[in-house]
């Protein structure tokens, strides 16, 4: 009922044994912010900025982007808003950028996401300038999709610094310090080399959708290989485990923001792995909070350890399904 939901919204997201987990929202449109707030989101863990570029033939001006981000900040009373830079290419398209994307033989492995932003400097500069201009209360974070190496992160940081200098020279207010700059961990290579990224990334956001697709080499849209889609595949679990561990050792915040994060079945696993930040579809938030409040974090930790020791699909699944903490 709405009553029960309201009550739940005001209860803390905490396990029975007192472990706090921050529950945030993924937004695909600025208008999703109302639903996120109603569901008790403690911030936006992933703003997919693609909406600004879709269903149109031109590119959005800086002012339009500023207005859109401010709308979200205005709708959310507190908490960070994590703006992901444009993530087109692969299965996500934008017609104004079609001529840059061209005809890729293998779009999932081609020019896309941060690769496109680095190749089209005006695109990245405009988006970063818009984020800096919108960031009045210092609540924005910047997230880069499909990062595979630290050089990409460095190039974006250099651009961010130069954009900030340019704005300051024009007499515009620039947030100080600059917003945290984080990376998506959604390619197996990035997960395995997380220790190369951690010293320079301000935070990690693990994207399980793409991580599963690239790890198991299965197209998200090809039904003929859908039977291979397995979020609990040992390779996937090990990659998530390693990336989380690296982040914790470096004292960097780490969240999970793929579909898995909003599925209560996987919650004990994430809590057990040490994840303390989850971002999901706004509609998934109440269920996840309810499940979280029934969990015991130390029991979750034993569960995660047991799952990581196994390699048989059935055994791993059974461990999770029979877990009742």
Whether omega for the bond prior to residue 177 falls within 30 degrees of 0, making it cis, is yes
Contacted entry of Mg ion, ligand PEP, none for residue 202, CB cut-off 5 to 8 Å set by kind: none
User: Are 289 and 10 within 8 A, CB to CB?
Assistant: no
CA-based torsion, 140, 141, 142, 146: positive or negative: negative
Question: In the stretch 42-61, what mask flags binding to ligand PEP with x, by CB under 6 A?
Answer: ----x-x-------------
Query: How far apart (Å, rounded) are the C-alpha atoms in residues 293 and 179?
Result: 32
Q: Give the single-character DSSP code of 293.
A: T
Q: Which among ligand PEP, Mg ion, none contacts residue 143 (Cβ within 5 to 8 A by kind)?
A: none
Candidate ranges 67-75, 129-137, 201-209, 239-247; the one touching ligand PEP (CB under 6 A): 201-209
Asked if residue 202 binds Mg ion (CB under 5 A), the reply is: no
From 130-138, 205-213, 265-273, 290-298, give the range in contact with ligand PEP by CB under 6 A. Answer: 205-213
Q: Is the dihedral of CA 195, 198, 210, 119 positive or negative?
A: negative
Smallest Cα–Cα separation from 246: which of 268, 274, 269, 267? 274
Per-residue contact flags (x/-) with Mg ion for residues 263 to 302, judged by CB under 5 A:
----------------------------------------
Inter-residue contact 54 to 94 (CB < 8 Å): yes
210 touches Mg ion (CB under 5 A): yes
Of 250, 266, 248, which Cα lies nearest the Cα of 212?
266
Residues 84-113 that bind ligand PEP (CB under 6 A): 87
Total of chain residues touching ligand PEP, rule CB under 6 A:
10
Within 168-187, the residues that bind Mg ion by CB under 5 A are 186
Rounded Cα–Cα distance for residues 191 and 142 (Å): 19
Q: Does 29 bind ligand PEP (CB under 6 A)?
A: no
Nearest to 226 by CA among 216, 236, 238: 216
Cβ at position 220, least distance to Mg ion in Å: 9
> Which position's Cβ is nearest ligand PEP?
207
The residues binding ligand PEP (CB under 6 A) are 46, 48, 87, 186, 207-210, 257-258
The residues binding Mg ion (CB under 5 A) are 186, 207, 210
């Amino acid at each position: 009922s709405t009553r029960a939901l309201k009550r739940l919204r005001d209860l803390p997201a905490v396990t029975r044994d007192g472990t706090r987990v921050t529950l945030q929202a993924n937004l695909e449109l600025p208008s999703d912010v109302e639903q996120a707030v109603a569901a008790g989101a403690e911030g936006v863990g992933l703003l997919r900025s693609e909406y600004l570029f879709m269903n149109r033939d031109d590119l959005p001006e800086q002012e339009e982007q500023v207005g859109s981000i401010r709308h979200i900040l205005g709708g959310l009373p507190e908490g960070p808003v994590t703006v992901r830079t444009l993530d087109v290419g692969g299965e996500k398209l934008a017609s104004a950028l079609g001529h840059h994307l061209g005809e890729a033989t293998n779009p999932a492995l081609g020019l896309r996401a941060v690769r496109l932003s680095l190749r089209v400097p005006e695109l990245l500069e405009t988006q970063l300038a818009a984020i800096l201009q919108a960031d009045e209360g210092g609540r924005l974070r910047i997230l880069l999709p499909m990062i595979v190496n630290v050089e990409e992160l460095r190039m974006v940081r250099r651009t961010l610094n130069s954009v900030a200098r340019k704005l300051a020279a024009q007499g515009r207010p620039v947030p100080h310090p600059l917003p945290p700059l984080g990376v998506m961990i959604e390619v197996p290579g990035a997960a395995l080399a997380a220790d190369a990224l951690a010293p320079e990334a301000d935070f990690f956001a693990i994207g399980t959708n793409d991580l599963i697709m690239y790890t198991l080499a299965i197209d998200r849209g090809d039904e003929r290989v859908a039977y291979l889609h397995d979020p609990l595949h040992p390779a996937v679990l090990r990659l998530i485990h390693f990336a989380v561990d690296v982040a914790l050792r470096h004292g960097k915040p780490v969240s999970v923001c793929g579909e898995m994060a909003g599925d209560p079945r996987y919650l004990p696993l994430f809590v057990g792995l040490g994840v303390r930040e989850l971002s999901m579809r706004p509609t998934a938030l109440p269920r996840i909070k309810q499940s979280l409040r029934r969990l015991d974090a130390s029991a979750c930790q034993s569960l995660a350890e047991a799952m990581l020791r196994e390699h048989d699909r059935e055994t791993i699944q059974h461990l999770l399904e029979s877990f009742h903490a």
